[in-house]
Structure 1
């Protein structure tokens, strides 16, 4: 099941609005709406925060990108995800795993902020390109 379906079902069950969830996550309602409707994809850590906020526990991410809640066939299979990583990504993961939790959280926050900044710059550049084409 896609993470969006799991989150939407749980939000409906709990009566949680997109506005309330986006406020908790520190993102705009528009960004959260884009995530839920598949127009943009949040990071795995952001999906984890969404699940945590909604009280969704015991989640398994299968190799095909599907999520399973609770015990599933997917959780019975061991997958070596590091085998699929490039040497550069493997080194980054090893370095990250050595950081204390607080520093790892700070690094993730910084990287997410930088990604948002670059996404905003990219969107602005695209908008300027469209204006230039139209004009």
Structure 2
């Protein structure tokens, strides 16, 4: 089986894993690494560690470290109009949100959405 860094990376980027809920990403990473690595394990905080390469003591060594989680949002209220009120999870800057696409994950599956803002020129009755 040939390991493709690009395919593996893209499959990981498609997963949902907001801060505190990144186990699905860790499971996929562990499975992918087990296909090629000499050793794969999870340390006590849930991080996936994989060891590749040579057993020679003079071999060059390289460490790659990356976050598994992503910023996200938790829905707090669904308005009668269908708009969602939410709380930020992670370090999301408010100014980057308008126009951003999101995936809403719920008991019934996932759906796509986007952030909008109330228009300041729109009257309220």
Pair in the same fold by TM > 0.5: no
Higher strand fraction (1 or 2) = 2
Larger radius of gyration: 2
Higher helix share: 1
